Structure 1
Amino acid sequence: MHLKTTSTFLGLAVGSALALSAMPAGAATFGNNGIQFDQDTEVTFDFTGSNGKFGSMFGVVLESNPNNILPPVLFAENPAFDPGPIGDFQGTCGVVVPNPCTATFTFLAGESYSLALKSDNGTVYSTDSLNPLDPANPATPQTRQFVFFQDETTLPPLANESGEGSVDPFDKFAILIEDKGGSRDFNDFRLTAMATESDSPASIPEPATLAGLGLVAGSLTLIRRRQTNKKS
């Protein structure tokens, strides 16, 4: 009976440790209310095309300092659009942006970020609250200039600013951007993106894992002490 009780107790302790260690490592916010991760996270962006007269520069800003794009600038169009008689100022990978049209940015844990598209006609942000009010109607909410879709195959032009508001950054998604040109078709700059979870160093267990292992160690110490007391 004593052996059975001891085995059951140890099984519960070990099971608790394993369950704690298997819990998700972190959470994230990514969308029109801002970008934030609870651990350093690398996001890969892929430029898929543009339709804009102005050469654009795309990158990441801190919400606390939205006027300065953080290094590195992820994409900078040069020239502004493909040469030749192409409609709607089309820009393609390998022409306006050098191949392979892929860039990465590491978001630091706990910082509040926004994506930004800067061009000759102004800067727009993925965080709605950073975009200016409509001067014709200042009582309205800030204009939405970025739309997010979890389905990375979503393509403009869009009839309105419908989007998902926020996405799971660890599942590939689409970003469609409207500059200040006023057309509201969300095809001025287009990307897909996906975050990669950082692997914790093997030498530094997660706090939850340490707590579970401590429970196991404490259980073993208690059992040994009881057995010693019975023998005395």
Structure 2
Amino acid sequence: MNKTLLIGITAATATAMFGVAGPANAFTFGTNGISFDTDQELRFNFGSSNGAFKSTLKIFEVLQNGKVKAVDDGVLFTEVKPSDNGAQNGFRGTLGNAVEQVNTTFRFLANKVYTLGLVSTWNGDDAGAVYSTSSLNLKGTNSQRAVFGSTGGQEGQTFAGANTFLSGNPLTGSVAIAFEDIQFGNGDNDFNDFVVSAEAVPEPLTMGGLALGAAGLAAARRSRKRRTTEA
């Protein structure tokens, strides 16, 4: 077989077997909102929770009128109790103890605008919600309630660098997202009350790509066998 042709088939085979769909060309992922120009699936992983609130992390669609709407299968994590062992471990919550994962992945639809919302209760009473999109939080306060690319600061201490962690790129690797769960300006602003991470999920191979890969491998085997016989 012609060497150039063989190289071409080998490259096509590698692409078909290991290649994935390219990332979205344009996106927003941060305190200005979450949006992609093509459908994009992200995988979410839990880090930790801190504090006495019992919280649920959900995905909301941001409507044109600025209001938010909960989406189907948009619940990612929910706390079944405020922490693992209360004050014994500093009111820290971990996955499988205080926290349950409801959905592992979520597909963001093209050209829709989304936000992450942390909805909390305290001793059974509504403690309000904070959003990863700053403009959706209460006016007249420090409206930033999430950081992207950071797990926040020390418990009970103001995280001075919060305003420098405004966005991340989940298409190139895992992005940490950490929340301050107090919606008013008198919170401790440590931005470590609920910590997760997000990363892109590779698109599965198509049947056409698998067929191309099989054909390429078969052609390469035939070529090797022919060269062995001729030798």
5 Å matches for 1:58-97? 58-64=57-63, 65-66=67-68, 68=70, 70-83=72-85, 85-97=87-99
Alignment match, 2:159: 159
TM-score by length of 2: 0.66
1:18-73 deviations in whole A, cap 9, x for unaligned?
Answer: xxxx9875322100111111111111111110112111000110111425354231
Distance 2:205 2:115 in 1: 26
1:9-158 to structure 2, matched below 5 A, reads 26-64=25-63, 65-66=67-68, 68=70, 70-83=72-85, 85-98=87-100, 103-120=104-121, 121-134=127-140, 143-149=143-149, 154=151, 156-157=153-154
Q: How far did 1:82 drift?
A: 1.0
- Report the structure, 1 or 2, having the larger strand content: 2
| Partner residue, 1:196 | 201
Point out where structure 2 has 5 or more consecutive residues left out of the alignment. Answer: 1-20, 122-126, 210-231
Deviations 1:159-203 (A, max 9, x none): 222333111111211111001171100111001111125358566
Judging changes above 3 Å, is the alpha-carbon distance between structure 1 residues 23 and 89 closer, same or farther for their aligned structure 2 residues?
Answer: closer
The change in CA–CA distance for 1:105 and 1:122 in structure 2 (over 3 A counts) is same
Q: 1:115 to 1:203 in 2, by over 3 A?
A: same
Contact kept, 8 Å, 1:156 with 1:176, in 2: the verdict is: no
Q: Deviations over 1:93-136 (max 9, x none)?
A: 2201237x87211100110001110002110011111111136x
Q: Distance in 2 between matches of 1:24 and 1:97?
A: 31
**3-state DSSP of counterpart to 1:143:** coil
Q: Residues 102, 163 of structure 1: CA spacing in aligned structure 2 closer, same or farther, 3 A cutoff?
A: farther
Give the letter aligned to residue 174 of structure 1: A
**Does the CA-based 8 Å contact 1:40-1:198 persist in structure 2?**
no
If you compute each CA radius of gyration, which structure gives the higher value, 1 or 2? 1
Alignment root-mean-square deviation, CA? 2.8
Q: Verify the 8 A CA contact 1:47 1:102 in the aligned structure 2.
A: no
Which residue does 1:186 correspond to in 2? Answer: 191
Cα–Cα, structure 1 residues 75 and 37, in superposed 2: closer, same or farther, change >3 Å? same
Residues 186-223 of structure 1, C-alpha deviations (whole Å, 9 max, x = no match): 1110011111253585669xxxxxxxxxxxxxxxxxxx
Which whole-Å CA distance do the structure 2 matches of 1:159 and 1:50 have between them?
Answer: 16
- Tell me the SS of whatever aligns to 1:72: strand
Runs of 4+ in 1 over 4 A off after TM superposition: 22-25, 199-204
State the AA in 1 paired with 2:43.
T
Matched residue of 2:170: which SS? Answer: coil
1:172 counterpart = 2:174: yes
The alignment of Structure 1 onto Structure 2 pairs a total of residues equal to 173
